[in-house]
Structure 1
Amino acid sequence: MADEPKSPVSPPVAEPTAAAATPPAAAPPAPPKPAVPPKPAGPVPMPWASPLVEKYKGRFGSSLDAFSFVGQNYFTVDRSAIPEILRSLREEEQFDYCVDITAIHYPKREKQFDLLWILYSFSRNERIRVKTQIADGEAIPSVVSIWPTANWLEREVYDMFGIKFDGHPDMKRILMPDDWKGHPLRKDYGIRQQDQEWVQINLGIEKAQ
């Protein structure tokens, strides 16, 4: 049998290759952010001028200065002059209402506390603040004999800050339990530790919420 002619062998067909992915173009750099304008300066204490200021500066000299801050007028007074100035404001200037007594704690300052009396005169329709600085552990004379309502206000300052008022008729806590440790409005007060310790001892609860 004669050999049949063989078909020519087709060359192998190459597989199409995928084109290499083109990396995306890099994003252009972000434009620089505009400079943040400085914050406007806040209000600052300004000198307070009034006939009352002139009278008291003439009387107490360098023991007293006077300022006004956002509409609030106040004296800054040396601690030694506080009793006389407060009594004078009550008896001579008719500041017959002691609105509040409070304090602010600045633990990094040598005299750590600002102590503040807020007074009001009904006849003058005027409010004034008297401020002094005292060191930690220093006491200040009580003004209960000048304004009887100071009784509870001074006890609250003692309770919250530990500042004692000499001559107070009943210098003890008014808000916290008598056996509470520390004074909660001081900035060095360890609130979690103290709260939990008292609750564990007195209420038998392991962890205060």
Structure 2
Amino acid sequence: MNNIQVIDRSDFLKTCENLKKQNARFLIATAYYYDEKQEKIAIVYNFDKNGQVGSIKVIVEDKKMPSLISVFGKAPEWCEREIHDHFKVDFDGLETKKRFVLPDALETDVPTFCSIKITKTEV
């Protein structure tokens, strides 16, 4: 497996189905804002195949993404729910849309995770 592969969302499920056929295992998914305006989100999916870890990155512009549950069963559910909580990505096929990390009563525009910038200064 290559270390990281950037793919288009339209190829995502097919690529993951091919990985599953090659006995790759889903490990974890993470997300981060891909641009300064926080309009694009990068989701990085990590897989293990024969002891080697590889990653697939998809850039999401409209906050819509297919769920990996159809390919890897329940394994991706918690990761997708957490990404949904923090970034409001709508995973098509994710059965449980209930918040995973944040309480249901919390509705705010305040960032729900650390979004500060760290700059180097001379001491």
After TM superposition, is the score higher than 0.5? yes
1:168 aligned onto 2:94: yes
- How many Å separate the matches in 2 of 1:185 and 1:144? 25
Contact persistence 1:95–1:119 (CA under 8 A): yes
CA distance in 2, matches of 1:161, 1:141: 15
Would you say 1:133 and 2:42 are equivalent positions? no
Structure with the bigger percentage of strand: 2
RMSD: 2.2
Deviation per CA, 1:80-111: give whole Å up to 9, x if none.
111110111112x2112x21111011342585
Per the alignment, residue 24 of structure 2 pairs with: 95
1:77 is matched by which residue type in structure 2?
I
Matched residue type, 2:93: G
Could you say which structure has the larger radius of gyration?
1
Q: Give the 5 Å matches for 1:1-209.
A: 73-91=3-21, 93-96=22-25, 98-108=26-36, 112-121=40-49, 124-135=50-61, 137-147=62-72, 148-182=74-108, 184-185=112-113, 187=115
Give me the whole-angstrom Cα distance separating, in 1, the residues matched to 2:59 and 2:88: 14
State the shift of 1:173 in Å. Answer: 0.9
One-letter identity of the residue aligned with 1:102: T
Letter in 2 for 1:145: S
Query: Retained in 1: the 8 A contact 2:33–2:39?
Result: no
Aligned equivalent of 1:47: none
Q: CA deviation at 1:187?
A: 4.0
* TM-score when normalising by structure 2: 0.80
Residues 158 and 172 of structure 1 are in contact (CA less than 8 Å); yes or no, is this contact kept in structure 2? no
Matched residue, 2:119:
none
- Deviating beyond 3 angstroms after TM superposition, the runs of 4 or more aligned structure 1 residues are 185-188
Change (3 A) 1:179 1:110: closer
Indicate the SS of the match to 1:146. Answer: helix
Q: TM-score, structure 1 length as denominator?
A: 0.49
Q: Aligned-pair distance for 1:145?
A: 2.1
SS in 1 for 2:96: coil
Q: CA deviation at 1:132?
A: 1.0
Percent of paired sites with the same residue: 22
Query: How far has the Cα of 1:169 moved from its partner?
Result: 0.8
> What is the CA distance between 1:179 and its match in structure 2?
2.1
Summarize the Cα distance change of 1:80–1:145 in structure 2 as closer, same or farther, 3 Å threshold.
same
Secondary structure in 1 aligned to 2:32?
strand
Aligned residues: 113
Q: Which runs of 5+ in 2 are unaligned?
A: 117-123
